[in-house]
């Protein structure tokens, strides 16, 4: 009985760390590698993304803060073409969370901000071109939080809803993207409330 009471007390104390007046620090790191094979050629693409966020929980259910993401991808073809893309996002987010128990909570993050992307294309021989685009993004991501210990936890999401734009310099392309990808992606992140 004492063990159960001690475990319940520890769970309550660690859940209390995620309450009003705490600082949230969290983020995701991802790496993807893709290979496409054709009859006489193949493409290889690798992407690395780092996206931290910091927020202040001003209410038992509401957190507001800043976020940024840095992404780099490299695409190589057997035709001698290599494309390198670097993307940077900077914005703000608001989170609404609902505790389900002392261990589990669900939340939704809504983020919006500015983004910029630089693309470099190296062709056969000495061919080279570069492009730069600026735009904005907005997105909503629902997720599940699992409180591990003392405000440290894991975040699980299976997609989201969003809209992004990029407008390239020198009369380049205007790019817009709407996505609704529930069930198509799976992300695991970490967070800590101080």
Residue 158 has φ and ψ, to the nearest 5°, of -125, 35
Q: What is the pLDDT of residues 66-94, one digit of tens each?
A: 999 999 999 988 777 889 999 999 999 99
Percent of the chain with pLDDT strictly greater than 70: 90
| Distances 13 to 7, 17, 180 between C-alpha atoms, Å | 10, 7, 37
pTM for this predicted structure: 0.78
Q: How far is CA 140 from the centre of its chain?
A: 11
Q: How far apart are CA 117 and CA 129, in angstroms?
A: 14
Give first-to-last CA distance, the chain, whole Å. Answer: 30
Residue 155, number of CB atoms within 10 A of its CB: 20
Q: What is the pLDDT of residues 155-187, one digit of tens each?
A: 888 889 999 999 999 888 899 999 998 877 778
């Amino acid at each position: 009985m004492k063990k159960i009471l001690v475990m319940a007390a520890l769970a309550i104390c660690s859940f209390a760390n995620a309450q009003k007046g705490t600082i949230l620090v969290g983020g995701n790191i991802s790496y993807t590698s893709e290979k496409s094979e054709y009859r006489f050629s193949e493409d290889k693409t690798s992407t690395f993304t780092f996206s931290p966020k910091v927020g202040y929980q001003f209410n038992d259910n509401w957190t507001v803060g800043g976020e940024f993401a840095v992404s780099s991808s490299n695409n190589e073809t057997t035709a001698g073409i290599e494309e390198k893309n670097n993307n940077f996002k900077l914005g703000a987010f608001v989170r609404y969370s609902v505790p389900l128990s002392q261990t589990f909570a669900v939340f939704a993050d809504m983020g919006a901000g500015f983004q910029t992307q630089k693309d470099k294309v190296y062709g056969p021989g000495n061919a080279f071109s570069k492009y730069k685009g600026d735009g904005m993004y907005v997105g909503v991501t629902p997720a599940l939080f699992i409180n591990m210990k003392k405000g440290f936890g894991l975040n699980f999401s299976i997609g989201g809803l969003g809209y992004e734009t990029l407008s390239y310099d020198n009369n380049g392309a205007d790019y817009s993207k709407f996505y609704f990808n529930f069930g198509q992606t799976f992300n695991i992140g970490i967070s800590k409330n101080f």
